[in-house]
Amino acid sequence: MSANYGWAGKILRVNLTTGSITTEDTAKYQDYIGGMGLAYKIMYDEVPLTTKAYDEANKIIFGVGPLTASGVPCSGRMNVTTLSAWTKGYSILDGHMGGHIAHNFKYAGYDALVIEGKAAGHVYIKIDDDKVTIESAEHTWGMGTFDTNRIMIEENGSDFDVVSIGQAGENLVNYSCMLTSSCDSAGAGTAAVLGSKNVKSVVVRGTGNVKIANPAEFKELCDYMLRELIGGNNNHNVPAVPQSWAEYSAPSGNNRWAGAPGRVWGLAEGGPIDMGEQPYDDINKIAYRCMKGQFDFGDIAQKYMVKVGGCSSCPVRCYAEYEMAPLAEYELPTRVSNTCMPIIYNTTWYPEGVKDFVDEGDASIIINGAGERALDNFGVWENYGNLLREFNWCYKHGVFERVLPKEEYDAVPWDLMKEGNPKWMWWIIEQIATKKGEISHLGDGTYLLAERWNLGQEFWDDNYMQTISYNGYPRHHGSEDVYQVGVLYSIMYNRDCMIHHMINIVGSGCPYEVYKKTLEDEFGEGCVDMPKKYTPMNRSKARLAKWAFIGKQWHDSATVCNWMWPMTQSPAKSRNYKGDHDLDAKFMSAVTGEKWTRADVDLASERISNMLRVMTAISFNINEGSTNLREDHDTICNWVFDKEPEFKAFEEGTVKLDRADMELAKDMFYEEMGWDVKTGIPTRATLERVGLGYMADDLAARGLLPA
């Protein structure tokens, strides 16, 4: 790595306690790739897992990988690693964000930023290539993320990128996130760790570049990916509705390739812009494919859409940008942008329903727009919808009457909620962000909230809640989409799994028989079930689950977008709609100049996945007294097995699963991973095979290494 192809070559360390700013060579961390893997190695080496999230001794690490800022399509990602303050076991976890800051960070010459210690006052970190300073943030402390980011750009220059925390992060709200660009955020409570260190923002300008070892080969790969492999958002490989060039379209008429003739950005500058057709090999039309607002809200979205935006190096513009005039009547911001949960779930704040504003059926888009802006402004993270579901569940089950002091309960503006007034969301989100009143404990996180308010087993096992694990986080495309496979990878982390490998396929609209062949050719017969026609667990499904699980760690270490990667499917009929799983390795070879194969990628992915598992085992031993991850971490809430009581598991028409079959699924998955079947902890042989013998020694010293 002497020429630093792909990697920037330096890690930046900022110690807020001493004011020390230093750099070190990235080379010694190369086996851990970057992003998540590099951060896991630093955290394991330097932060004892007895440390609490908000302790001064904790660290928070911003990391990018060798593919980010190289020009690889869909690589504008940054990983943020720290310790959890809100899930059972209080172990290692990650936030992830897109936007443009990852590229600027890399161009400034860094592969990672390690923030240590705690500042005496409120500060921001300014990175201007190799000039790094700690600046006062007293003038922005207390502000929301949008105002803070605007001021940081005004003060430092339009060629800087910035990420900031809101009031939730400042007040150490466990459900907090940081925001960059117009709506890109890293959640999982990472903002509160920054807040605990008195850091409001990080601003970055980079004027350097990323060196590519083989530019001609790299250019050919980019062209190949754009012309033959890439689809719409989530790499959906067929359009939502018929187009003249396409053999297939989504049977439901809706997927994330929603652009189509007659669908417009109604408020585009200069007048409406029609998406037209987007032949798969016309790379100049890729940005018209997503039309995410159409996917989320239907035709009404066209009235309010200005354009679509996205991350650096990505042609798939998945952020719908809106101008929502009806919000002006409520003196709320009208400019709204997002692509995921913060903009599609906010009607859940209204248990008694919402009402239309101007047009029939516009309540959902307007309420969601207002809620998104509030969540992002205050920097409140919604835990893939759990925050909102928890509020709704508590309201419907009379919890607030029981736990709120009468004076506080009577002061809650319930009338705004019942009227469907968008100001209701701003009120309750601000309460959470500023920790005002007992109701603000909604921001503690599922696990701690259930304990504090004594919500009981009914809360955990209610299908409505969608909490997959008793550790305190929801399924992320679990059994409802991907049978046993989705459950397996949903319970492997210390937050929701954020894995899109399989939902990108089964939700694409591509015919089942087509994607079945693609997957069975690689993972074996029976690896993929038809929707709502599930079959018992088998070895092929275990191999598929391992591929998806370890692949997520690769994406967060090379720092490419897991919503788009891997290239499993293709929109090209000439390829039989089959993608290219060797593409990651091909890009690594072209960018770094080192020979990479699919096996090399998988080995690195397994290494990082086992680091996650070992640190989780140690944390659960320290904080829960556990010696068995299978029994104490890899738990599955009862609703997965008890929902839809009119069906039996594996009957056509249901997505419920069978308890004994899921235990068999764990057996097979652990075997594929090289983990002890009884405890779910990696064996010495596995850890030594992936280059983690020192972790095996650590587990042995703690009495956790399987016999």
63/40 Cα distance (integer angstroms): 10
Region 365-376: mean pLDDT is: 97
Query: In the structure encoding, which two tokens stand for residue 82, read together?
Result: 């720290």
230/242 Cα distance (integer angstroms): 18
Q: CB–CB of 238/250 below 8 Å?
A: yes
318/309 Cα distance (integer angstroms): 6
76/64 Cα distance (integer angstroms): 9
CATH class for the region spanning 475-565+597-701 = mainly alpha
pLDDT tens digit sequence for 505-520:
999 999 999 999 999 9
498/68 Cα distance (integer angstroms): 19
Calculate the average pLDDT of the chain.
97
**397 in helix, strand or coil?**
coil
Residue 340 confidence class, pLDDT cut points 50, 70, 90: confident
Its pTM stands at 0.98
Q: Is it the case that residue 606 has pLDDT exceeding 80?
A: yes
Residue 669 confidence class, pLDDT cut points 50, 70, 90: very high
Residue 342 confidence class, pLDDT cut points 50, 70, 90: confident
pLDDT tens digit sequence for 439-451:
999 999 999 999 9
Q: Is it the case that residue 127 has pLDDT exceeding 60?
A: yes
Q: Is it the case that residue 150 has pLDDT exceeding 50?
A: yes
pLDDT tens digit sequence for 16-60:
999 999 999 999 999 999 999 999 999 999 999 999 999 999 999
pLDDT tens digit sequence for 552-586:
999 999 999 999 999 999 999 999 999 999 999 99
Q: Pick from 206, 97, 201, 79: which is nearest to 146 by CA?
A: 201
Q: Is it the case that residue 3 has pLDDT exceeding 70?
A: no
> Which amino acid, residue 11?
I
Going across the sheet that includes 184-186, the strands are 131-136, 123-128, 199-205, 161-165, 178-180, 184-186
Q: CB–CB of 184/98 below 8 Å?
A: yes
> What does the pLDDT read at residue 2?
43
Element (H, E) at 446: helix 446-452
Domain boundary assignment for the chain: 10-205, 322-466, 475-565+597-701
**Which residues face 199 on adjacent strands?**
123
Region 263-280: mean pLDDT is: 97
> What does the pLDDT read at residue 341?
85
pLDDT tens digit sequence for 295-324:
999 999 999 999 999 999 999 999 999 999
43/196 Cα distance (integer angstroms): 17
Q: CB–CB of 267/320 below 8 Å?
A: no
**Which residues face 133 on adjacent strands?**
126
The CATH code of domain 10-205 reads: 3.60.9.10
> What does the pLDDT read at residue 266?
98
> What does the pLDDT read at residue 338?
86
The residue ranges of DSSP E strands in 110-160, in sequence order, are 112-116, 123-128, 131-136
59/526 Cα distance (integer angstroms): 44
383/405 Cα distance (integer angstroms): 26
Residue 1 confidence class, pLDDT cut points 50, 70, 90: very low
Degrees to nearest 5, angle at CA 482 with 479 and 488:
65
The residue ranges of DSSP E strands in 27-110, in sequence order, are 60-63, 78-83, 92-97
Q: Is it the case that residue 126 has pLDDT exceeding 50?
A: yes
CA atoms lying within 13 Å on the CB side of residue 427:
17
**246 in helix, strand or coil?**
coil
Q: CB–CB of 374/166 below 8 Å?
A: no
